[in-house]
Structure 1
Amino acid sequence: MDGRSGSRVTRRGYLGLLGAVGLAGCSASDGERAGSEPTVTAAPLPESTPTPRDRRVAGSNSAAARSLDAPWYERTATTTLSPTGLTVAFHPRPTDVSSLVGGGRFVRPGTADGPARLVLELANTGESTVSIPHVPVPGRIVTPRGDARAFLLPVRPPDGGVGDGNERDRFWFDGYWRGRRRTGRERDLSIDPGELGSLGYVLVAGPEGPALPVGTYAFETRFGWTFTLGVWRTDAPGPADASRFAGADVPELPGDGATEWFHHADRNTAVYLHPSTEQVSLSDGAETLDAALFNHSSTTLVGNPLAYELLKLHEGTWYPVVPDQLPDPGGHLPPGATLQRRFVLRHDGPTDPDDVIPVGHLGGGRYALRFGMYRSDTPRRHAALVDVEAPELELSPSPELRVDGEDTARPVGWLDPDGGLFDAVVTATRTGEPADRTVVAEQVMHDPILRNTISVFGPTTEIVELHTRDAIADQLLPSRGTLRVSLRGAVYELVRQDD
C-alpha cells in the first residue's frame, strides 16, 4: 500500500485485461455493413519478414503462413448472418498455454441455405507433434452477462482436413441455424512441429433459447486456444436501450479529444461506452457498476486498455477522482470486440477484491466514467454519465496515519505504511492567498498528502506537519514545491520541507 485509498488494478485484473483487450483486427467494410447481401471478409495477409518463431512454420510463402506472421490482431475475420441481420467478428486471443498459434477465416456467411462456416488455421511452433480433438466448441455470452450459448460444430474444411461427413443431422433451420452437441469422439488432427493444419466448423445457436443475442461470446478449445466472437446488428449497431440522460447538456471532459457520450448514442452509433446502470445508491453499502466499451465499427480502436477515469461534476467543472497512475501496455480493440470493466462503488473506504476495481469515498453527485480506447484517426474518448446517491463526503485521515499532538495547534503526522522511511516533510496551513486550484472532497480522500493534512485540521489547528516517503510526496509536490488548494471555501497552502 502507498497510502492511497481509492482504486487500483490487481495483478489478476491487469493480466486478464491484457489477454482480453490486446485484441485488434479487421472487419467488414462500410459498404458491406450497409448492404443486404451476405458477405465474407478474410483477414488481411500482409507480406512481412517472418519472426524467428514463424520461420519454423513450413510453407512460409503460403497465405496461411503469412497470416500467422502478421500481428495477431490482424488475424481476424468478419461475416454476416443474413437470416437475422447480424454481423459476426472472430478474434483470436493470445495465450502462452499452447504451442499452437493461428487465426481464423469465414469461408461462407450464414444464409437460409446453411450456417456460417469458420476455418481455424493453426501452426505448431512446439517441439513435438500436437494432436487436436476436432470436437464441438461451446461458447457463452460474456458481454452483456447472460445465459445465451453458441456452438461451433465440426465440419470438414473446404480445402481438406479432418471433418465429419454426417453434418446436417446435427443442425437445422427455424429462422436461424441451431444445433446440438453430439456425444462421441470426433477425428483428431495431428500437426507436426513447424507445420500448419486447419479445422472446420459451423456457427449455430443452441437447440433452445435465444438465437445469438447481440454481445461478445467467449470460446475455449480443448487444445488450450481461446477466441471470441462479437455479434451485433448490421443495420443498427448502437445500443437498444435509451439513456436516462437523453438530452442532458454537460460540459466537455478535460483532456485531448472530444467526448462521445453514451446518452448521445442512438441505434446508428457504432462505438459507445455502455454502463449497466446510470444511477446507483450508496446509502446502504456497496453497488456494482459494469461498463462495456462496444466496438461495432469497421475500425480498430487503440489506446490504453487499462485506462479509465471517474470524474465528478461540481459547479460546472469536472474534477478527476480516480484512478491512481496506471501502466500503459498499449492495446487494440478490433471490430466486434468489447472491453468490459467491473467497479464496486462505496461511500466509505473500499474493500480489496481481486477481480474488480474498488472505488471508495464517493459522495453524492453526478459523475462521468471514461475509458482509454479510441480511434487513432479521431481521438474521441468514450464516456457515460452516472448519478450517485450518497451523503456528502466527510474527510478523515488514512487508517495507517499516526498522529502526535492531535487536536493541538501543531499536530504531526507519520505516514509510511512500510514503516521507518520518513524522508519527506509536507506542512499545511490555512491562508488567505488565492488558490492555485480547487479540489473536491473526493479528490482529497484519494490523495494521500491532501487527505492526511487537510483532514487533520481542527478548530485550533494552525499548522499540520506530515512526515512520509518521497514517493508519496512526489505524487503531489516536487521537492520544495508549494501548492494552494481551495476546498469548501477554505484555502490551504501545502509546502514540501525536505532537507
Structure 2
Amino acid sequence: MKRRALLSSLAAGSVVALAGCNASSDAADGTTTPDESTGTTYRTTSGEPTPPETGLGDATTAVFETRDRTMSLLNGRRRLPSGLMVRAWLSATATPEHPARVTATLTNESEYDTALRLHDVPPFGPTPHGFPNRDYDDPLYLVPTDDHEFAGTTGAVARTDSGWYLDGRPDRWQPTSVELAAGETLVGEYAVVPREPGPIPTGRYAFGHADDPLTLSVWQSSRPGPTERSTFAGASPPSFEDQTPAWYHDATPEAPVFLQPSAEQVDAPAEVSFTLHNYLTEPLTGNFYDWTLYKQVGGEWYRIAPWGIPVPLTPLPPGDTHTWTLHAFDGPSVDCEDAIALGHLGGGRYAFHVNMSSESGPTHAALFDFDAPQVSVTPTDDVSVEREYRLVRASTPDDGGDRATLVVQRTDEADARLLPEQVMRPRNRGLRNTLPFFEDGIQKVRLETTDGVVDDAVRGDTGERVFRFGGDAFAAWRA
C-alpha cells in the first residue's frame, strides 16, 4: 500500500484550533508490508508527520463547518508499558469536502524491536470507536482514510446536509498486531464520523478502557452552556473581596464556561460536586487546589476554607471538565478519599469558588444552601482549665515542641468578624480553646499551648489581633 502525503504540524499555541484548515506535510511516502507468518502484522519504513505543539492545554480542537459542533481531542499522548509512544491529534476539521480527521503515530522509542497487540491501544485497535459518556448508543468511529499507511482496509464515508457519516458496516480495518523496529513509527489517519447520518450527539467519547482514555469531547458550538434553570436565578450575591466571578446561576445556554453544582439545596451531612466545564477553544489556567468555600452572613462573604493553597499550574483543556467533591458535615468531619471533607458547618448560604479562568475571563463560582443546625464553638478534648475570679487559665498537653502563651481579652470594639465555622477550623485551635470560656464575668483567658498554635491565632502578628465574635469584641496577642 502506498501512503499519500499526511497532514502535518499546525500553528503552535496554547491549544491547536482548526476551523476549515487542512495543512500538508512534506513527509516522504513509504510502504507497509504484511508479515508472511501471520498475515496480520505490519511494518513500516516511512517517515512520520510532526505532532502539533499543543502547548499548555495539550489538546487539539476543531470547529466544524458542516455541523453546529466543536470537537476537542484529549489525552492524545500516552506511553505504553512496552515503552512505545502513542500520539494523536485532530489534524483537520469537518468541511463540505471531507470529515474531521485524526492523525496518530505509534513510535518505538526503545532500543529493541517490539511486537505489540493493538486491541486496547487506541486509536490503533481493529475497529476504533467510542461511545458518548460511556453510553453504548450513538458510537463515533475513527475510520482509516486512504492516507492511512498500514490499515488492511479503508472505510467508506458519505455526506448529507447534516454532515459526514460511515457509509457501510464497521469493519476490522486495522491489524490485530504490529512489529516495530527500534526507532520506527507507524502513522494512521482517520475520518471521524458517526454510525448514522445526523448530528453527532454531544458528550465525551472514550476510546479504550484506561482511567484516562483517548477522548473526543464534542459540544454544540452555539449553545454549550447549561439548559436547566438554576434555583438561584435572579439572585445578586455580594462580590468576594478580590474576585468578581461568573456565577453558575447567571450562566445561559450560550455560556462557554460554567461551574455546575450537583445540587443547590442540601441537608447535613451532604455531598455536593462542582464541575467546571470548558467549552472554549483555549485552555483555562489556574490551579485545581485553588478553591475556596465561603459563607454568606449579613450581606458579606466569610472565607471558611482552606487555610493554605499548593501552587501547581493545572490547565483545563478545551472540551474538558474538572470536578471538586465537597463532603459537608455539621459536626466533626469524616475523611473522604479524593474529596474535600469539611466539618462544623452551620446552616446557611455558601459559595464554592474556583480560581480558574481563560486569559481575559472571570473566575467561577456556584451557590448552595446547606440545611443544618448552627455551629457551637467547643474546646478540644485535650484542654484543661482553671478559673481565677475573672481570669481563666487553660492549657493543652506538652507535645515536646516550643511552648507559648496566647492571651485573649474582652475589648470595646472591633471591625473584623469571625464566624463559628471559622473558629472551629484546625488552624484556629488557639481561639477555639479560649473563646468558649468567656462566660459571664470572665474578662481574660490565658492559654498555655504550642508556639505554632499561638502563631496561627494571632496570624504571626507581633501586636494585637482584634475581632468580633458573637455579640462581643476581643483582642488576642502573644504573651
Q: Do Structure 1 and Structure 2 share a fold, with TM-score over 0.5?
A: yes
Alignment partner, residue 366 of structure 2: 384
Identity of aligned residues (%): 27
Q: Structure 1 residues 108 and 421 mapped into 2: Cα distance closer, same or farther (>3 Å)?
A: same
Q: Could you tell me which of 155, 162, 170 is aligned with 1:167?
A: 155
Alignment partner, residue 239 of structure 2: 252
CA positional deviation for 1:219: 4.3
- Matched-pair contact (CA < 8 Å) for 1:430–1:462: yes
- Matched-pair contact (CA < 8 Å) for 1:129–1:192: yes
Q: Distance in 2 between matches of 1:177 and 1:203?
A: 8
Q: Could you tell me which of 209, 226, 230 is aligned with 1:243?
A: 230
CA positional deviation for 1:151: 5.1
- Matched-pair contact (CA < 8 Å) for 2:260–2:274: yes
Alignment partner, residue 47 of structure 1: none
SS for the counterpart of 1:327 is: coil
Q: Where in structure 2 are there 5+ consecutive unaligned residues?
A: 1-13, 25-44, 119-123
Q: Distance in 2 between matches of 1:181 and 1:496?
A: 75
Deviates more, 1:114-123 or 1:368-377: 114-123
Residue 396 (1) aligns with residue 389 (2): no
CA positional deviation for 1:309: 0.8
Larger radius of gyration: 2
Q: Distance in 2 between matches of 1:288 and 1:185?
A: 45
Alignment partner, residue 187 of structure 1: 176
Alignment partner, residue 283 of structure 2: 300
SS for the counterpart of 1:350 is: coil
Q: Could you tell me which of 278, 289, 299 is aligned with 2:264?
A: 278
- Matched-pair contact (CA < 8 Å) for 1:152–1:201: no
Residue 405 (1) aligns with residue 389 (2): no
Alignment partner, residue 35 of structure 2: none
CA positional deviation for 1:149: 6.5
1:244-292 CA deviation, whole Å, 9 max, x = no partner?
2111112112214x3211111111111111111111122xxx2111111
Alignment partner, residue 300 of structure 2: 317
SS for the counterpart of 1:105 is: strand
- Matched-pair contact (CA < 8 Å) for 2:155–2:173: no
Q: Distance in 1 between matches of 2:393 and 2:411?
A: 17
Q: Could you tell me which of 213, 216, 220 is aligned with 1:229?
A: 216
Alignment partner, residue 17 of structure 2: 27
Residue 466 (1) aligns with residue 447 (2): yes
Q: What root-mean-square deviation, in Å, do the aligned CA atoms of Structure 1 and Structure 2 show?
A: 4.0
Alignment partner, residue 16 of structure 1: none
1:156-215 CA deviation, whole Å, 9 max, x = no partner?
35533332416359xx999995899878993334444444433444546689xx986544
Alignment partner, residue 416 of structure 2: 437
SS for the counterpart of 1:263 is: helix
Alignment partner, residue 21 of structure 1: none
Deviates more, 1:149-158 or 1:313-322: 149-158
CA positional deviation for 1:355: 1.9
CA positional deviation for 1:25: 2.5
CA positional deviation for 1:351: 0.7
SS for the counterpart of 2:15 is: coil
Alignment partner, residue 335 of structure 1: 318
SS for the counterpart of 2:392 is: coil
Q: Distance in 2 between matches of 1:180 and 1:420?
A: 74
Q: Structure 1 residues 86 and 490 mapped into 2: Cα distance closer, same or farther (>3 Å)?
A: same
Q: Distance in 2 between matches of 1:367 and 1:175?
A: 45
Residue type at the aligned position of 2:430: I
- Matched-pair contact (CA < 8 Å) for 1:112–1:173: no
Residue 78 (1) aligns with residue 62 (2): yes
Q: Could you tell me which of 418, 423, 426 is aligned with 2:406?
A: 426
CA positional deviation for 1:472: 4.1
Question: Whose helix proportion is higher, 1 or 2?
Answer: 1
- What's the TM-score once normalised by structure 1's chain length? 0.73
Deviates more, 1:120-129 or 1:289-298: 120-129
Deviates more, 1:124-133 or 1:383-392: 124-133
SS for the counterpart of 1:449 is: helix
Residue type at the aligned position of 2:320: A
SS for the counterpart of 2:370 is: strand
- What's the TM-score once normalised by structure 2's chain length? 0.76
- Matched-pair contact (CA < 8 Å) for 2:131–2:140: no
Deviates more, 1:98-107 or 1:342-351: 98-107
Q: Distance in 2 between matches of 1:125 and 1:435?
A: 66
SS for the counterpart of 1:362 is: coil
Q: Distance in 1 between matches of 2:195 and 2:435?
A: 59
Q: Structure 1 residues 270 and 421 mapped into 2: Cα distance closer, same or farther (>3 Å)?
A: same
Q: Distance in 1 between matches of 2:49 and 2:173?
A: 34
SS for the counterpart of 1:455 is: helix
Residue 363 (1) aligns with residue 346 (2): yes
